[in-house]
Amino acid sequence: MALDTRERVRRAAVKLFAAKGFHGTGIRELAQESRLSTASLYHYMGSKEDLLADIMRTCLRTLLDSAAAAVEGVTDPARRLTTLVKLHVKTHARMPKETWIVDNEIHVLTPAMRRSVVSLRDEYERLWDDAVSAGVARGVFDTAHPGVTRIALLEMCNGVARWYSPRGSLSLDDLAEHYADMALRALGACPCGSAEGQSRGE
């Protein structure tokens, strides 16, 4: 089925921004990749910055909505945290270009455009902060610096976008489980004692 023209432009931008960066991607190159004239390209994307911000917002909104739905009603902090880790790892493995753009190109946006993107990112990271804080408060996690640990875990999971291959030694499900276990250990919680571990019969 033929792609909608706007979607074709978006996919071309994701490919080029991830490979060459926002500033390294020229309008003529973007038009060529989209199979459009330069004049037609502006009709479908607005400015190049508009296109970049839209890619970021779409990716973050997808991640935020999926994460919020996944942890809704989950009260155990360890299970909440491992659910978030697994989702983050899988999303970065399945959408490496989009997530790389979000993680690395926010700084190129103008302040006005950046605010809407950062707001979504902060809302998503608040889910992680809530899980970690609840775990510390209930004695499930043991870390002197919850905020720093949360940032470190997110950075660890972000890296999956740079190297994951489905041809690797671990399936994506197994990789996500491994990252979840590492996250619990980083927070001073034994994976085998978590609700997640118990659900696997460990």
User: What pTM was computed for the model?
Assistant: 0.87
Query: Cα–Cα distance between 139 and 119 in angstroms, integer?
Result: 30
Q: Residue 153: what are its φ and ψ, rounded to 5°?
A: -65, -40
Is residue 136 within 8 A of residue 146, CB to CB? The reply is yes
Is residue 93 within 8 A of residue 87, CB to CB? The reply is no
pLDDT per residue, tens digit, the chain (202 aa), is 346 888 899 999 999 999 999 999 999 999 999 999 888 888 887 889 999 999 999 999 999 999 999 999 999 999 999 999 999 999 999 999 999 999 999 999 999 999 999 999 999 999 999 999 999 999 999 999 999 999 999 999 999 999 999 998 899 999 999 999 999 999 998 665 444 444 443 3
Q: Which CATH superfamily is domain 53-193 in?
A: Tetracycline Repressor, domain 2 (1.10.357.10)
Report the CATH architecture of 1-46: Orthogonal Bundle (1.10)
Domain parsing of the chain, residue ranges: 1-46, 53-193
DSSP string, 14-63: HHHHHHH-TTT--HHHHHHHHTS-HHHHHHHHSSHHHHHHHHHHHHHHHH
